Structure 1
């Protein structure tokens, strides 16, 4: 079985936890901060953090356009929490100057589940992930307000999609990297292997 190289966008957010999860899921993890580092990976994770900050730093580091180009060209990408916002084609309530990479035909509402002190955990049935529910850790999490026809909803919480997939793009409102359960990362690593043929 091949070992794909998966980058973690290392501008801000919980990068280290994704490294551990990717390692457990059978991928080689690399930090991505520059366009040349992005060019060297087979897939990319955009971690949780602060979506406005990640957006501004991606622009400042000259990464926003290369990210959009790679996603358009079919590079698999997985966004958790803030990463979900970054992969959305549209944000319902963007902050001033906030841009996204796009790629998933969805509208996302930022901080939809409330503030930091309203964080919670909930078991979720996730399509494509076997072995029982995934523990979803929601921290100032977004939800998906609406999706286009090509978007598959993989998990729902409180009536809102919280995990979706479109072709080689995957996103979750929650943080699987914080639980020690690496099945969502394993699903993504399989998506990267599949894209490599």
Structure 2
């Protein structure tokens, strides 16, 4: 049998707990790399956009030339997973307040809709990834108000989508890297390792 290819995941290393993402991915056997320049993304199979402050992150991506690089990476079929602020960056529409984004997934998100950081919580919700409820850590998380055609809901909290996927793009409004449950990262590694059936094409639905 051919030797299994080692999956390499880049992690935007500007804000957020990118170290926790790296630790979980390495625990699962993946290679990781901190991404701060377009060149850092060159040989990656996937990219994680972690939590933080989405407007600050977007400004950094634009100034460093990473925004265009990430869009091209997605269109080539590279797997991308945005968590919390990263989910905001991926959304087509952002509200409260309105802001620009990478526009890679047809969904509408509302910033800080679960409350301030002192109201953040650890909860559980139904998921299609396993039979048991999925533990979710929310820290001033956004709410996915609308998921467009072709966007699959993989987990919910309080009746709203909390984990979604469209082809090679995933987004979570919570922080899977802050739990001991590796389910979500395992799923993303499979996506990055096998390659998506269809690369993202802007926010147009394939259905």
Q: TM-score, normalised by structure 2?
A: 0.89
**Pair 1:114-2:115 in alignment:** yes
Q: Is the 8 A contact 1:26 1:189 kept in 2?
A: no
Structure 1 94/55 Cα, relative in aligned 2: closer, same or farther at 3 Å?
Answer: farther
**Pair 1:79-2:82 in alignment:** yes
One of 2, 5, 8 as aligned partner of 2:5: 2
Once the two structures are TM-superposed, the CA of residue 47 in structure 1 deviates from its matched residue by 0.4
Runs of 5+ unmatched residues, structure 2: 198-207
Cross-structure match for 1:187: 187
Structure 1 64/143 Cα, relative in aligned 2: closer, same or farther at 3 Å?
Answer: same
Q: Deviations over 1:77-122 (max 9, x none)?
A: 0011111111111112345xx4322211101111010111110111
Q: Is the 8 A contact 2:167 2:196 kept in 1?
A: no
SS at match of 2:72: helix
Q: Deviations over 1:49-72 (max 9, x none)?
A: 111111111112221111111112
Equivalents in 1 of 2:52, 2:96: separation in Å? 17
Runs of 5+ unmatched residues, structure 1: none
Could you say what the CA RMSD is over the residues aligned between the two structures, in angstroms? 1.5
